[in-house]
Chain A
Amino acid sequence: QVTLRESGPALVRPKEPLTLTCTLSGFSINTTGMCVAWIRQPPGKALEWLARIDWDGDKYYSTSLKTRLTISKDTSKNQVVLTMTNTDPVDTATYYCARIFGFKDAFDIWGQGTIVTVSS
């Protein structure tokens, strides 16, 4: 069964870094054509694409957030990690990781999401 599961802190203090982990099951990030992205959704608001990493190591970042984001993959653990620096209360959101495979740029499988609150 293909699944993605996000994990990370529920609460982060402003200006502290946020590290989120996406654990992949049922597929490998090393498979040719496989990509994983991070998307977030502030409470009551729309989805916002953050970053993407491809099987070959290519990385892509949101234009507005690229100075604060780092995406990486740990192939031995089959995980994708997103780090966000200098957090702010506006970064409070549900963070999703999603797979991109077989449907061009479509996010075909999503994790259940993890809620992150940035507050002092």
Chain B
Amino acid sequence: QSVLTQPPSVSGAPGQRVTISCTGSSSNIGAGFDVYWYQQVPGTAPKFLIYGNNNRPSGVPDRFSGSKSGTSASLAITGLQAEDEADYYCQSYDSSLSGSVWVFGGGTKLTVL
């Protein structure tokens, strides 16, 4: 059971817009900690997509955008392309009585129809 909750799967047709949610709690996203996003094509290492909730590192297309509100965050992908088919993970920091750790969501498989 991941600390951050993501839908197991989402899908969309080429050219469409999809969003992937990441739901946390008051000990992580809701506490103001930043959210990060990664893309992982099966069989390869994750790739860094979004930092600081809504910023893209150089080289990441502006079709990818992030947002955060309250205890949740979202990744939006517009103009869906076949190459976007991958698993997507959110990440944040969690600080509670049991300790402080970096945490990932359970991952969301994006299928391009």
Contact = CB atoms under 8 A, between A and B. Distances in A.
Contact of B47 (A49, A62, A110, A113): A110
Interface residues of B, number: 25
A11 to B, nearest CB: 20
A45 B84 CA distance: 20
Given A46-B2, A52-B102, A62-B101, A105 B34 contact: yes
- Top 3 closest pairs, chain A to chain B, by CB: A63-B99, A110-B45, A103-B51
Contacts of B106: 46
Contacts of A110: 45-48
Interface of B is mostly: strand
B89 interface: yes
Interface in A89-111: 96, 103-111
A37 B2 contact: no
A46 B89 contact: yes
A49 B104 contact: yes
A16 interface: no
Nearest to A99: B48
A49 B93 CA distance: 11
Interface in A32-49: 37, 39, 46-49
Contacts, number: 64
B46 A106 contact: no
Interface of B: 2, 34, 36, 38, 44-48, 51-52, 57, 89, 91, 93, 98-107
B57 to A, nearest CB: 7
Nearest to B33: A105
28 contacts: A37-B102, A39-B104, A46-B2, A46-B104, A46-B105, A46-B107, A47-B38, A47-B91, A47-B104, A62-B101, A63-B98, A96-B45, A103-B48, A103-B51, A104-B34, A104-B52, A105-B93, A106-B36, A106-B48, A106-B91, A107-B36, A107-B38, A107-B91, A108-B48, A109-B48, A110-B47, A111-B45, A113-B45
